[in-house]
């Protein structure tokens, strides 16, 4: 399991990162709200552990931005703010779980396992990224209420991108998802399919949603990535 920890307390951050590594999880630790938000938007992770009292960006604002961008990665809030009102505010802002400091590390691990299992066992049937919507049950894709006709491969490609909305998806990941094939790093078949998909979901609309990220892969996001990431 890949965990993104957003925590500015050095002692606690080191302890949690070391503990998660020791139980077999991979923990990326961001020590500021801005860095954590950027990591959550561009890196793949299974669960985000989020402190609320960050010095630069409030944790609830980070949570709000992630959900507005269509990023559905489970978020566990880990905070010293423990009143009923504060816990309710966190959950209503989009958190999937809430733990109050101080906490038992074994409980943290158990809750992370539960969040990861829950997200795998019950995949979302509907995905939205800004004005773009995809319904797995009906196999229907619309943008601004206009229906978009996709081939089965294009639909599977878009579903995977939207399931990882706000995160960079590599060509290797797409190749393995679409064809269960080993990545050789030389074929341009993924680029061809992405180009065709982009033409269908972005052409004729003012705001582009599907972006090529320089040297890394692709990103679908309603408000676009930073300019220095996108290829011309």
Does domain 2-121 fall under CATH 3.40.50.2300? My reply is yes
pLDDT confidence bin for 166, thresholds 50/70/90: confident
Mean pLDDT of 170-174: 84
pLDDT greater than 60 at residue 168 = yes
pLDDT of residue 183: 54
**Interval 33-70: pLDDT, tens:** 999 998 988 887 889 999 999 989 899 999 988 887 77
The domains of the chain are located at 2-121, 126-220
pLDDT of residue 203: 92
CATH of 126-220, one of 1.20.1630.10, 1.10.10.10, 1.20.1250.20, 3.30.1330.40: 1.10.10.10
Q: What percent of the chain has pLDDT over 90?
A: 49
pTM above 0.85, yes or no: no
pLDDT of residue 4: 95
What angle, rounded to 10 degrees, do the helices at 105-121 and 10-22 form?
60
Q: H or E stretch including 210?
A: strand 210-213
Which of 100, 56, 43 has its CA nearest to residue 76?
Answer: 100
**CA-to-CA separations, 50 to 22, 60, 220, in angstroms, rounded:** 20, 9, 23
**Interval 201-225: pLDDT, tens:** 999 898 999 999 888 889 999 876 5
């Amino acid at each position: 399991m890949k965990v993104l920890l957003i925590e500015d307390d050095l002692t606690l951050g080191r302890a949690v990162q070391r503990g998660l590594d020791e139980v077999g999880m991979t923990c990326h630790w961001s020590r500021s709200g801005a860095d954590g938000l950027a990591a959550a938007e561009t890196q793949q992770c299974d669960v985000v552990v989020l402190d609320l009292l960050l010095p630069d960006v409030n944790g609830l604002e980070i949570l709000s931005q992630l959900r507005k961008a269509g990023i559905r990665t489970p978020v566990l809030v880990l905070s010293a703010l423990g009143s009923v009102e504060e816990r309710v505010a966190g959950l209503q802002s989009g958190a999937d779980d809430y733990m109050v400091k101080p906490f038992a590390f074994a409980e943290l691990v158990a809750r992370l396992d539960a969040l990861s299992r829950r997200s795998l066992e019950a995949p979302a049937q509907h995905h939205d990224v800004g004005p773009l919507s995809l319904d797995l049950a009906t196999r229907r894709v619309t943008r601004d209420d206009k229906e978009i006709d996709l081939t089965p491969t294009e639909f599977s490609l878009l579903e995977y991108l939207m399931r990882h909305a706000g995160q960079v998806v590599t060509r290797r990941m797409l190749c393995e998802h679409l064809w269960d094939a080993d990545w050789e790093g030389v074929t341009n078949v993924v680029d061809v399919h992405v180009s065709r998909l982009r033409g269908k979901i972005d052409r004729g609309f003012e705001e582009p949603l599907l972006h090529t990220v320089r040297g890394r892969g692709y990103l679908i996001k309603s408000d676009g990535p930073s300019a220095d990431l996108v290829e011309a």
